[in-house]
Amino acid sequence: MEISKVLVANRGEIARRVFATCRRMGLGTVAVYSDADADSPHVVEADTAVRLPGNTPAETYLRGDSVIAAARAAGADAIHPGYGFLSENADFARAVQDAGLLWIGPPVAAIEQMGSKVAAKKLMDAAGVPVLAELDPAEVTEAHLPVLIKASAGGGGRGMRVVRELAELDDQIAAASREAESAFGDPTVFCERYLATGRHIEVQIMADAHGVTWAVGERECSIQRRHQKVVEEAPSPLVERIGHAMRASGPEEVAERNHGGVARIANGNSMRERLFQAARLAAEAIGYTGAGTVEFLADEAGEFFFLEMNTRLQVEHPVTECTTGLDLVRLQLSVAAGAALPAQPPAMRGHSIEVRLYAEDPAQDWQPQSGTLHRIEIPMVAAEFDLLDRSGVRLDSGVVDGSVVGVHYDPMLAKVISYAETRAEAARLLADALRRARVHGLVTNRELLVRVLRHPAFLAGDTDTAFFETHGLSTLAAPLASEEDERLSIVAAALADAAANRRAARVGGPLPSGWRNLPAQSQQKRYESRVSGVHEIGYRFTRGGVEVDGSAGLELIEATPERVVLGVSGGVRRDFAVARYGELVCVDSALGPVSVRRLPRFTDPADQVALGSLLAPMPGSVIRLGAQAGARVAAGQPILWLEAMKMEHKILAPAAGVLTALNVSVGQQVDVGAVLAVLDPETQE
């Protein structure tokens, strides 16, 4: 079937990614969008855009009938589901085909067989693929602990909980079920044995309708937060380290048959060969076509177990594209249209690492952020949504300068991907690009990503799923700028603000050197850092330049509203780029990024928040209450739960005391900074 116009039943980065390949193939593009996404880049870039009324996923991107109606209205002849939302919904895939549209995905039967992780494990076990036993939540005992609760209908960390105490099981199952219902429309969950320090290895599959099934290459995605991947790479460091050491036979001997005729994986072969064979067995067992990923949990000895099969494109597919030279979206479109694959995929080359840049605060329990992203600038980008044929950085982003990050969707801003001949070079290149990036307006996990990429354990390939616990999240999430460097950056902010004030004045002109004919009075500026609190910067301009309180020997070389150059001890020169957005001031330099808020000289008492107030850390919906007004609560006790960005977030009592006010009810929408409750500090125990 010929394809002429493709509707992407998704949003953000993946919609832009599919559109990029469609443009390279000369195909028309159609976007769908919620009201919250009306001004999003994927809407602007599409040839045609169709509104899905509403804001939440349930009202918009999860409405298969609305998406199909949009395709018909726009004249699309094919639908690409992207990932998440309806991408693994068999009923939607069937409805697309029933509507006479081409489904850019695997057969409906394959989606159904893999759609239930419970049923999928049984099927894979029967096909000879190693599996971890599934546990019925109702039958879990102390002997099974710890266990992992998982959503049967989806992934991406939604509906996943680790349970170490049997008394917590029921509450955690209920919470996981609510998240699964919200994210996938299916509340079904199950349990399995939890391996705290496993390695997450996955194999990219591509299969056509003519009997060819490729195992394109493996990826390692072990560094995760809340069971969601943060750093992904190809090839896997674990497989590279031990894969060839296990080799004992050729590829033709990888699969053997047991007495029942079921294929099994020959233990004598290399880990890579066994992974590829297991992935092909999984795909062939369900008659798979198109792009898919078979995920495994492996141990340090090279043994692995089937986790799930994602019947769609993965978020981390760019690292496979970079190491194979394949455009996986192009292959999806071609295979769906009936094209045949060559007999063998290309060999892997070099190394690629991808990180997910999130609007979140890792130091505050991964708290998601919302608001305006004033600026996002990643240096050294050689390609956007495209292949890299030499060392460089690729950017796949769903946002641009001025984008508003809301509360209805995942807070991922961008995927930043490096490619180089060696893993060490790829890590160094990516860390440097992230450090130099200018990301203004929202707290992100950028510092965490840089520290991970530079960590000795990561560079050694020691990257299991407990990486953050092992190496200390607080250490990894610490600012890149030291306390001393942060203060120097804030001094630069004050001098840039002074230059901006002078430029805006009716008299006077740009500040050339700070010289005055009369002795200058000390100027004071106050800034607040979310990391280190309030800073008071006192400075005065003299004939010799500038004097900053507490910073002897500092030389002002240049000061404009956008740039400050300072000379520090030892003849070292520091260059600071300064940007301001209202009261927000962002300073970028080689010392690390620093963001502060300019404080007024005098504070209006009416703006003060009552002592003991619990404020909403993000906009969201109250879904559950843990205490009532007048109740005595313990330190750390949940007061209420907020749902935002498809995840549940607890609001905890900071100390013991009496809850004197509870200002919200279940179902209520709250804005960031809203006073949710008040804890009386005078009655704390």
pLDDT of residue 374: 98
pLDDT of residue 481: 96
Token pair for residue 559?
């000061």
Q: Which residues have CB under 8 Å from 44's CB, separation 6+?
A: none
More confident residue, 535 or 261: 535
- Confidence band (pLDDT; 50, 70, 90) for 542? confident
- Confidence band (pLDDT; 50, 70, 90) for 643? confident
- Secondary structure of residue 78 in the 3-state scheme: strand
Q: Roughly how many angstroms between the first and final C-alpha of the chain, as a whole number?
A: 72
- Cite the residue boundaries of each domain of the chain with CATH code 3.30.700: 483-599
- Confidence band (pLDDT; 50, 70, 90) for 9? very high
The one-letter code for the residue type at 122 is: K
Q: Which residues have CB under 8 Å from 537's CB, separation 6+?
A: 490, 491, 493, 494, 524, 525, 526, 527, 548, 549
- Cite the residue boundaries of each domain of the chain with CATH code 3.40.50.20: 5-104
- Cite the residue boundaries of each domain of the chain with CATH code 3.30.1490.20: 133-193
* Contact assessment for residue 567 and residue 575, using Cβ atoms and an 8 Å cutoff: no
Can you give the pTM of this predicted structure? 0.85
Q: What is the arithmetic mean of pLDDT over 203-209?
A: 98
Instruction: Report the CATH fold assignment for 605-683.
Output: OB fold (Dihydrolipoamide Acetyltransferase, E2P) (2.40.50)
More confident residue, 616 or 421: 421
Tell whether domain 483-599 is in CATH 3.30.700. yes
Asked if pLDDT for residue 498 goes beyond 90, the answer is yes
Asked if pLDDT for residue 464 goes beyond 90, the answer is yes
CATH number, span 133-193: 3.30.1490.20
Residue 622: count other Cβ atoms within 10 Å of its Cβ.
19
* Contact assessment for residue 563 and residue 576, using Cβ atoms and an 8 Å cutoff: yes
Q: What is the pLDDT of residues 133-185, one digit of tens each?
A: 778 888 899 988 999 898 887 666 778 889 999 999 999 999 999 988 887 78
Q: What is the Cα–Cα distance from 75 to 28, expressed in whole angstroms?
A: 10
Q: What is the pLDDT of residues 339-382, one digit of tens each?
A: 999 999 999 999 999 999 999 999 988 999 999 999 999 999 99
255 forms beta bridges with: 265
pLDDT of residue 496: 97
Q: What is the Cα–Cα distance from 336 to 140, expressed in whole angstroms?
A: 42
- Confidence band (pLDDT; 50, 70, 90) for 514? very low
Pick one of 3.30.559.10, 3.60.130.10, 3.40.50.10890, 3.40.50.20 as the CATH number of 5-104.
3.40.50.20
Range name among 169-173, 258-262, 366-370, 611-615 with the lowest pLDDT average: 258-262
Asked if pLDDT for residue 519 goes beyond 80, the answer is no
pLDDT of residue 226: 85
pLDDT of residue 602: 63
* Contact assessment for residue 533 and residue 545, using Cβ atoms and an 8 Å cutoff: no
Q: What is the arithmetic mean of pLDDT over 13-35?
A: 98
Range name among 29-43, 438-452, 507-521, 615-629 with the lowest pLDDT average: 507-521
* Contact assessment for residue 418 and residue 429, using Cβ atoms and an 8 Å cutoff: yes
Asked if pLDDT for residue 249 goes beyond 80, the answer is no
Asked if pLDDT for residue 652 goes beyond 50, the answer is yes
**Three-state secondary structure along 508-538?**
CCCCCCCCCCCCCCCEEEEEEECCCEEEEEE
More confident residue, 26 or 190: 26
- Secondary structure of residue 476 in the 3-state scheme: helix
Range name among 89-98, 274-283, 403-412, 538-547 with the lowest pLDDT average: 538-547
User: What DSSP assignment string belongs to 318-369?
Assistant: HHHHHHH---HHHHHHHHHTTPPPPSSPPPP-SEEEEEEEESEEGGGTTEE-
Q: What is the Cα–Cα distance from 137 to 141, expressed in whole angstroms?
A: 9
- Confidence band (pLDDT; 50, 70, 90) for 33? very high
pLDDT of residue 568: 93
More confident residue, 609 or 396: 396
Give the DSSP letter of residue 244. G
Asked if pLDDT for residue 324 goes beyond 90, the answer is yes
| Degrees, nearest 5: CA angle 129-198-172 | 95
Q: Which residues have CB under 8 Å from 124's CB, separation 6+?
A: 131, 282, 285, 306, 309
Q: What is the Cα–Cα distance from 81 to 119, expressed in whole angstroms?
A: 23
